[in-house]
Amino acid sequence: MDALVRLLQLLVFLLTLPLHLMALLGFWEPLCKTYFPYLMAVLTVKNNRVMENKKRELFSQINGLAGTSGKVALLELGCGTGANFRFYPAGCKITCLDPNPHFEKFLTKSMAENRHLEYERFVVAFGEDMRQLADGSMDAVVSTLVLCSVESPKRVLQEVRRVLRPGGVFFFWEHMAEPRGSWAFLWQQVLEPTWKHIGDGCHLTRETWRDLENAQFSELQVEQQPPPIKWLPVGPHIMGKAVK
C-alpha cells in the first residue's frame, strides 16, 4: 500500500509540476497568501449554508461566558474572512488572529455587516505564538478549519489554554483524516503534498481529535459531522467544545 501511495504521489507531482517548482523557488507562497482570502470568501458562503444550524447551536453557548463586564472576550484563531461573525451572540468583543495580513480588509467588511459585535483588534501572528495576548484574557476561543494548517496543533492548543481564563471554553470545527486503511485515506495521502500548497498549508491526514484529547482540557465534547463540500478531499469534520 505504501508503494502505491508513493507511485500515485509521483504521478500527481508530475501533473502539478509547475506548482511545485514555483513553491521550490519561493514564488508560490506570496501568491497563495494573496489569492487564498478570495478563495475562502467563496467557499465559506457555501460552508455556512450547509452548517448554519450546527454553527448556531454551537456558538449559542457563548452567551453564558460573559465576564464581570457583561461582555464576552472572544478570540478567533485563523479568523479568515470573518465568516463566523454572524453566528456570535450580541456583546462579544472580538479579537481576530491570523498570520495572513491580506484577510484584514475582509474582516473589516464582515465587522461592518455585524454591528451586534465589538471589534477589538486584528493580530497578525501564528497560533503557536500568541505572546501579544495575556494569560487568562479570553472567555472563549474559536477555531474553525484552522488546526489542519498550523505547524503544530499541540503548541496551538497549549496557547489556547494559556489565553483562556479558568472555565473558559474553546469552540472548534475542524476536518480530519479518513479512517486508516480506507481508500479515502489512501487518496488523502496521495493528494496531501500538493494540497498543502493549494490550501495554504492544509494537511488532509491529521487526526485532530487526538490532539484535542491530549491537550489536558478539563472537559471535552466532540461530535462528528460529514464534510460539507463532498467534492473536496477533506474528510469528516468534528465539532464541539473544550473547557479549561
CA distance 71 to 117: 10
In this prediction, residue 156 has a pLDDT band, given cuts at 50, 70 and 90, of very high
Q: Which residue has the cell 464576552?
A: 72
Q: What is the pLDDT of residue 105?
A: 86
* Strand residue runs (E) in 99-218: 118-124, 138-144, 164-175
Q: What is the pLDDT of residue 33?
A: 85
pLDDT, mean of residues 136-142: 96
Q: Which CATH number fits domain 29-243: 3.40.50.150, 1.10.1740.10, 3.30.70.1450, 3.40.50.1860?
A: 3.40.50.150
Q: Which of 60-69, 186-195, 204-213 has the lowest mean pLDDT?
A: 60-69
Is-contact 166 136, C-beta < 8 A? Answer: yes
Q: Which residues contact 53 (CB under 8 A, 6 or more apart)?
A: none
Q: What is the pLDDT of residue 241?
A: 97
CA distance 200 to 28: 10
pTM of structure: 0.91
Q: What are the extents of the domains in the chain? A: 29-243
Sheet containing strand 138-144, edge to edge, reads 118-124, 92-98, 72-77, 138-144, 164-175, 237-243, 219-225
Query: Letter for the amino acid at 101?
Result: P
pLDDT digits (tens, 9 = 90+) for 76-104: 999 888 899 999 999 899 999 999 988 88
CA distance 97 to 109: 16
Can you give the C-alpha Rg of the chain in angstroms?
18
Is-contact 69 100, C-beta < 8 A? Answer: no
